[in-house]
């Protein structure tokens, strides 16, 4: 098959990046069976079963790549929908004492399933056929439907939003009415930034250090995988014992200092025990921090809007992973591996400073309280619209400027002595020449819309618009 077609089919993973766009529909509308969360889960699983069988039917037809691509996109949409429903269900059904263990187990099992299912599917397809593998995967959803049917309903019955407007707008307003909401959002972005920077280009790092294919494969697929799974599960369990506040501090500190192992690897030549130990410790602390962080996301999410809020939070959580790749490449090119790993530890400090703002050192369980509604007249719709427009423009220009800057630096480095010309790259972003460029521009526009909504919600929450909202208090 044409490699260009294969590249385009990889765009089928896009629904996971934009799942927050349709999550308000899942907060607003209740299926006629199994309730708001289990009902949507069941619908997604039935869709995955049917689409898996359809994919099996074209598994031996490489002459139908666009049919396969369309089915892959539909499967990704149904799978992302199932993720939204299950995340919201976890927020609704878990009691505080259960959140730590459940959060650690959910992430650990999910990651294990990705590795096992991906590798096992390719192995079985090589021995048998892709139609057999895809049909088998489809039939796995039948017992999962039984699990969904038997799963318990949440103790607390909450009324869904009365309109789609409420489902889209109130999740923003509800979160931003919390004490120190903006600092919490910044913390969500920065808490794991140092960790993401260290792990962004591990494969090229090991290549540059002289390690063989076997060494890299064993380190990443065995040592790193098991350390991450164990760390994530233990992180959730320990969070229940130590408390969320203590765990965020302890694991955050471990995440930062774990990069010291890579500093030693960068200065020692080929030393396999040291490299395996450094990777094991770094990925273990990464998993510990993820376990505690998953509990934080559960605690911050309001149950009435759990589908939309959790989808937004998880998207923000993934933002550092997206930004760390290009940033790491330029930093390593400029300063080398050893200096880069020292510098990456500095990037962990802002997250800890922000943590101290809403979880002071020594506090076991943070209280994500909703602020009392301020006195005074709320802003009018036209005033909010103006602020949203200005915020959206700023967000759009920031995202486009950042991408143009990265593209200009890449061009300058790839073709020396080319001039540093971010303006040309900025214009090129606004006039895409292919599908990839169009999708990039669409992503920037969506980012601008989100920033605009956040801007309006910030002003609304701070001006008294939350006065008439029945926003629940989180325990």
Q: What is the mean pLDDT of the chain?
A: 80
The pLDDT tens digits for 334-366 are: 678 888 889 888 888 888 888 888 788 888 887
- CA proximity to 65, closest of 13, 9, 11: 9
pLDDT tier for residue 474 given thresholds of 50, 70 and 90:
very low
Bridge-partner residues for 370, per DSSP? 178
Output the six-digit token pair for 342: 């020292």
pLDDT at 467: 46
Distance (Å, rounded) from C-alpha 259 to C-alpha 18?
A: 32
C-beta separation of 133 from 121 below 8 A = yes
- Tell which CATH architecture fits domain 3-151+163-358: Up-down Bundle (1.20)
Mean pLDDT comparison of 127-141, 328-342, 373-387, 431-445, highest-scoring range: 127-141
C-beta separation of 208 from 328 below 8 A = no
The larger pLDDT score, comparing residue 471 to residue 86, is at 86
Tell me the HSE value of 180 on the side-chain side, using a 13 A CA sphere: 15
pLDDT tier for residue 287 given thresholds of 50, 70 and 90:
confident
Q: Please state the domain extents for the chain.
A: 3-151+163-358, 383-468
Question: DSSP string covering 293-322, please?
Answer: HHHHHHHHS-GGGHHHHHHHHHHHHHHHHH
Helices and strands (DSSP H and E) totals, the chain: 23, 0
Distance (Å, rounded) from C-alpha 133 to C-alpha 55?
A: 10
The pLDDT tens digits for 368-387 are: 665 555 555 667 778 888 98
Task: Quote the Cα angle for 424-386-472, to 5°.
Answer: 115
Mean pLDDT of 90-109: 82
pLDDT at 63: 76
The larger pLDDT score, comparing residue 163 to residue 264, is at 264
pLDDT at 473: 40
- Which residues, 6 or more positions from 180, have their beta carbon under 8 angstroms from its beta carbon? 357, 358
| pLDDT > 90? residue 403 | no
463 preceded by a cis bond (ω within 30 of 0): no
pLDDT at 413: 65
C-beta separation of 310 from 29 below 8 A = no
pLDDT at 470: 47
> What percentage of residues in the chain have a pLDDT greater than 70?
86
| pLDDT > 70? residue 114 | yes
C-beta separation of 174 from 305 below 8 A = yes
Least confident of 417-421, 441-445, 464-468: 464-468
């Amino acid at each position: 098959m044409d490699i260009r077609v294969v590249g385009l089919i990889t765009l089928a993973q896009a629904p996971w990046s934009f799942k927050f766009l349709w999550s308000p529909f899942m907060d607003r509308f209740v299926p006629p069976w199994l309730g708001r969360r289990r009902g949507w889960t069941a619908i997604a699983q039935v869709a995955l079963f049917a689409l898996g069988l359809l994919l099996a039917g074209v598994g031996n037809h490489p002459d139908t790549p666009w049919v396969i691509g369309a089915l892959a996109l539909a499967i990704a949409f149904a799978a992302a929908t199932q993720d939204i429903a299950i995340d919201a269900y976890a927020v609704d059904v878990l009691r505080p004492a259960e959140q730590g263990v459940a959060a650690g187990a959910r992430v650990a099992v999910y990651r294990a399933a990705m590795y096992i299912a991906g590798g096992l599917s390719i192995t079985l397809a090589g021995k048998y056929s892709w139609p057999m593998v895809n049909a088998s995967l489809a039939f796995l959803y039948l017992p999962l439907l039984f699990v969904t049917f038997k799963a318990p309903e949440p103790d607390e019955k909450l009324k869904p939003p009365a309109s789609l407007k409420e489902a889209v707008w109130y999740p923003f307003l509800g979160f931003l009415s919390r004490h120190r909401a903006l600092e919490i959002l910044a913390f969500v972005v920065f808490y794991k930034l140092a960790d993401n920077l260290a792990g962004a280009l591990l494969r090229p790092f090991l290549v540059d250090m002289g390690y063989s294919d076997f060494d890299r494969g064993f380190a990443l697929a065995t040592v790193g995988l098991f350390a991450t799974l164990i760390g994530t599960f233990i992180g959730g369990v320990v969070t229940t014992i130590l408390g969320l506040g203590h765990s965020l501090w302890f694991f955050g500190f471990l995440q930062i200092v774990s990069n010291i192992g890579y500093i030693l690897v960068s200065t020692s030549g080929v030393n396999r025990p040291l490299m395996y130990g450094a990777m094991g410790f770094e990925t273990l602390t990464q998993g510990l921090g993820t376990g505690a962080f998953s509990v934080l996301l559960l605690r911050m999410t309001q149950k009435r809007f759990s589908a939309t809020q959790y989808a937004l939070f998880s998207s923000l959580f993934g933002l550092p992973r997206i930004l760390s790749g290009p940033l790491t490449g330029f930093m390593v090119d400029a300063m080398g591996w050893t200096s880069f790993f020292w510098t990456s530890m500095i990037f962990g400090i802002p997250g800890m400073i922000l943590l101290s703002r809403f979880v002071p050192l020594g506090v076991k369980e943070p209280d994500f309280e909703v602020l009392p509604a301020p006195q005074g007249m709320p802003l009018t719709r036209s005033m909010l619209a103006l602020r949203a427009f200005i915020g959206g423009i700023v967000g759009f220009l920031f995202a486009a400027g950042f991408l143009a800057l990265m593209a200009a630096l890449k061009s300058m480095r790839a073709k020396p002595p080319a001039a540093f010309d971010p303006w040309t790259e900025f214009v090129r972003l606004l006039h895409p020449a292919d599908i990839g460029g169009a999708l990039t521009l669409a992503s920037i526009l969506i980012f601008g819309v989100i920033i605009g909504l956040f801007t309006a919600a910030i002003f609304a929450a701070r001006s008294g618009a939350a006065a008439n909202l029945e926003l629940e208090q989180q325990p």
